[in-house]
Amino acid sequence: MPRPAEDPESGETRTVIARAFTLVEDVVYIGIGVLLTCSALLLLVNGGIGLWRATIEGAPLRGVINLLDRTLLVLMLVELLYTVQVSFREHTLLPEPFLIVGLIAATRRILVVTAEFSVTGKDGDPDRFRNAMLEIALLTLMTVALVGSLLMLRRLRDPGKASASRS
């Protein structure tokens, strides 16, 4: 059976509702962007203060590890801010920025666990050593999976470049 012609008012109502949802989406993205920016700036300032204190105290390893952790966290926030910017501009969610954030998070945790273990792991506790090695192994697997996912997405997006790079 043929569909009856749509009511012109119905089409206009849908357009108004769609525009309202787009406006709400934009407001939410702007709010998220402002919060991420403030968080990144506060962490950056806090990291600078921590570096200053660590330098005054003779740069203890704990202070350097804390600075590394905060710096990589700022990098994650900046990458999330980029994701929000792309989502705001294109009104679509792209998987690559989220995979990059996951990759930064896994790398951050690997570096922090390794650095913390180098400071506190000298007491010879076998359970602690095993747990740290297990965490690093799982994070490494996660890193490999994230890199593989990024490579697959790029090959799907640019099939010509993938075949050209193989020859």
Q: List, for residues 40-84, the tens digit of each pLDDT value.
A: 999 989 888 888 887 888 867 777 778 888 888 898 899 888 888
Q: Using one digit for the tens of pLDDT, what is the confidence trace for 73-127?
A: 898 899 888 888 888 788 777 888 888 889 989 998 998 888 877 776 666 678 8
Q: How many angstroms from the chain centroid is the CA of residue 7?
A: 45
Contact 69, 114 (CB under 8 A): no
Is the pLDDT at 7 greater than 70, yes or no?
no
For residue 59, what is the enclosing H or E element?
none
How far is it, in rounded angstroms, from Cα 46 to Cα 116?
A: 20
Whole-structure pTM value:
0.69
